Amino acid sequence: MVEAVRIAKERVERLECTIEEFVSAWSLEPLVRALQTLRGVDLIVAVTFATEVGDVSRFETSRQLMGYLGLVPGERSTGETVRRGSITKAGNGRVRHMLVESAWTYRHPPKIGKTKLYRLEQASPAVREIAWKAQTRLTARYRKLASRGKRTTVVCTAIARELVGFMWAVARQIVVE
């Protein structure tokens, strides 16, 4: 079993190196690098987001992107009665899954680690500001929702929805630069 784990880790490392080589020659490299400044968004999440979503500028608002990914609450309305339910899950499941997994990192207090510091130093000041704002807002939101007694899966889905908004903002900033 230990050998199987070691072989699996080596395979993952080889695949990540291959993806890293591919990204360096890709037209969406600036977007992938900028997305990696956000907490919980590493190479695989950034590449998956960029690949599956494509050109983010086609979404006029972050809410449109959230809806595209199926991270908005469903609604059943009749007359004046409005009932909101769970997320629609109408969009891309692969990206949605990655974002919810990334949202788990926001349960920790805001700080900048060594690897993120390296990414932040390479980013523009506007992207750095968005990344820090995302980290402080989303960690506070995570704690607030968890303290209300919400289930952690629901909290992470809500955080993933807001994370998409910050990813949209970063992508729009890259287009401007």
pLDDT in tens, 9-65: 999 999 999 999 999 999 999 999 999 999 999 999 999 999 999 889 999 999 999
Do the domain assignments include residue 42?
A: yes
Question: Residue 7: inside a domain, yes or no?
Answer: no
Calculate mean pLDDT across residues 70-96. Answer: 86
Partners of 81 in beta bridges: 78
- Residue 131 belongs to a domain: yes
Domain limits for position 128 = 26-176
Which residue's entry shows tokens 């952690």?
A: 152
DSSP for 63-85?
HHHHHHTT-SEEEEEETTEEEEE
Residue 133 lies in a domain: yes
- The answer to whether residue 6 sits within a structural domain is no
Residue 12 lies in a domain: no
Token pair of 155, please?
């909290």
Please state the rounded mean pLDDT for residues 80-108. 90
Instruction: Flag whether 80 is in a domain.
Output: yes
Do the Cβ atoms of 68 and 168 come closer than 8 Å? Answer: no
In whole angstroms, give the CA distance from residue 158 to residue 177.
Answer: 30
Q: Does residue 1 fall inside a structural domain?
A: no
Give me the number of domains the chain comprises. Answer: 1
